[in-house]
Amino acid sequence: MNKINNMLLNNEISATTANALLYGCKVCLGAIRVDDQQAKINELERAIKELEVDGKKYF
């Protein structure tokens, strides 16, 4: 993202191109965050199942 901003400041790319590239970066970042959140949810669900013995919850 810094490289894109620097290229824009140095007039190496247009503002339209910079916007398109930065939008693509934002979409990728959002996908990574969702994936990380899902991994944490899965980990919590496994931990809860470990606390359940014979249908009884120990928490």
- Tens digit of pLDDT for each residue in 12-24? 999 999 999 999 9
CA atoms within 13 A of residue 3's CA, in its CB half-sphere: 2
Using pLDDT thresholds of 50, 70 and 90, give the confidence band for residue 58. Answer: low
Q: HSE of 17 in the Cβ direction (CA atoms, 13 Å)?
A: 11
Question: What would the mean pLDDT of 33-58 be, rounded to a whole number?
Answer: 85
